[in-house]
Amino acid sequence: MLKIGLVSVSDRASSGVYQDQGIPALQDWLASALSNPFATETRLIADEQAVIEDTLRQLVDEEGCHLVLTTGGTGPAPRDVTPDATLAVADREMPGFGEQMRQISLRFVPTAILSRQLGVIRKSSLILNLPGQPKAIKETLEGLKNEQGESIVPGIFAAVPYCIDLLGGPYIETRPEVIKAFRPKSAQKPPSA
């Protein structure tokens, strides 16, 4: 079964100043987008590099997550260290994910160029640093669609299932009305019943 780690990085939410919105937004989106069963491991943590590194290692190395999605801590402020922690535990960087997230966000705000979102591989797991706001999380995962529901800017999740395939993980199926997973024809399986 697909196992997904969800990490919300926020000093204020982790200390109870306000309620975390990142993990619920990720859970809701995944429930709407994935057609196969999955399990999640969630963590709400402070924006401390050592804590983030330990959390990512635990989710990949001990919990066996195939995919880890983080939200928050990707800006240029001194306390925004999610990308730094992610790079510290990475075996390889996947720069296309960060590039595409910024392309999507630039459609809405010019400050998207300040984002340091990225994707990396640790062992056989994919780790993606997403934005912190629920609306931006949905946009970067799903992409942008026109009024007819056709994709005009692909979301990053379109590439996630095939990436997980290449890393030896489970076959992920998506609901095309939310996000259509892209795979070369040679890598496609018939839809499960």
Residue 152 lies in a domain: yes
Structural domain total, the chain: 1
Residue 192 lies in a domain: no
Per-residue pLDDT tens for 169-189?
A: 999 999 999 999 999 999 998
- Rounded CA-CA distance 7/30 in Å is 14
Residue 13 lies in a domain: yes
- Rounded CA-CA distance 87/84 in Å is 5
Residue 16 lies in a domain: yes
Q: What is the CATH number of the domain that holds 136?
A: 3.40.980.10
Per-residue pLDDT tens for 10-56?
A: 878 877 788 899 999 999 999 999 999 999 999 999 999 999 999 99
Residue 115 lies in a domain: yes
Angle, CA of 66, 72 and 77, to the nearest 5°: 135
150 lies in which domain range?
A: 2-187
Residue 193 lies in a domain: no
Q: What is the pTM of this model?
A: 0.95
Q: What's 60's DSSP letter?
A: I
- Rounded CA-CA distance 167/185 in Å is 18
